Amino acid sequence: MHIVIMGCGRVGSTLALGLQGLGHDITVIDQNPDSFRRLGDTFGGSTVTGLGFDRATLREAGIERAEAYAAVSSGDNSNILGARVARETFGVQNVVARIYDPGRAEVYERLGIPTVATVPWAADQVLRRLLPQGSVAQFRDPSGGVVLLEVGVHRAWVGTRLVDLDQRLEVRVAYVTRFGRATLPTPDTVYQEGDLLHVLVQTGRVVTVEAALAAPPQQEG
């Protein structure tokens, strides 16, 4: 599989070497030829000096036979422009752009450009280490706004209907792992001891939800 990567910083070089290790054919584009030193002596792909959204540069990098394109330079505008040119001009289906501005990431995600919002992801990783509550993040949407958690639940919640848990905590139980088997909850599904809950949560409410589920349910009213 031929993959073109725009940007040979720490992320781009790490991505290139990782993909090469999986057996893919990699071309890395960067404006600064000195950046290619990060690839080291083991890199067996090719490098192209230029702009990752310039059509001539992309053709030199083999974009016309590429099956994937990653824009991971330090500039949001360059990354989005590169991703759009790769998809809309050259028809590359698998594209992704790294975006620092979470607001932009959300907009471009709606336009069909998959993005990785660096700042929300990094902030959440720091938060997880400062305030550990025993959950494991399994998925995060590209805008960084929603996370799927495998979360620990206090045994006092046993017998609670999952739809009631959803309403009380403003979350959505996506699925339940029970006796090692994942199932989708029904309106009558109740939490049983030993269940693993996989819960969709707004990123800004993760700590609140974790704390609520780690304690007995509060009496309503």
> What's the pLDDT tens digit per position in 141-165?
777 788 898 887 888 999 999 999 9
The encoded tokens of residue 5 equal 């990567």
Which residue is it, tokens 């990098």?
61
Tens digits of per-residue pLDDT, 34-56?
Answer: 999 999 999 999 999 999 999 99
Q: What single-letter DSSP state applies at residue 161?
A: B
Q: What is the CATH topology of the domain spanning 2-119?
A: Rossmann fold (3.40.50)
Q: Where in the chain is the domain with CATH 3.30.70.1450?
A: 126-213
Give the side-chain half-sphere CA count within 13 A for 195.
26
Percent of the chain with pLDDT over 90: 52
Confidence of residue 132 (pLDDT cuts 50, 70, 90): very low
- 126-213: CATH architecture: 2-Layer Sandwich (3.30)
The confidence score (pLDDT) of residue 206 equals: 86
Where, residue-wise, is CATH 3.40.50.720 in the chain? 2-119
Given a cut of 90, is residue 127 above it in pLDDT? Answer: no
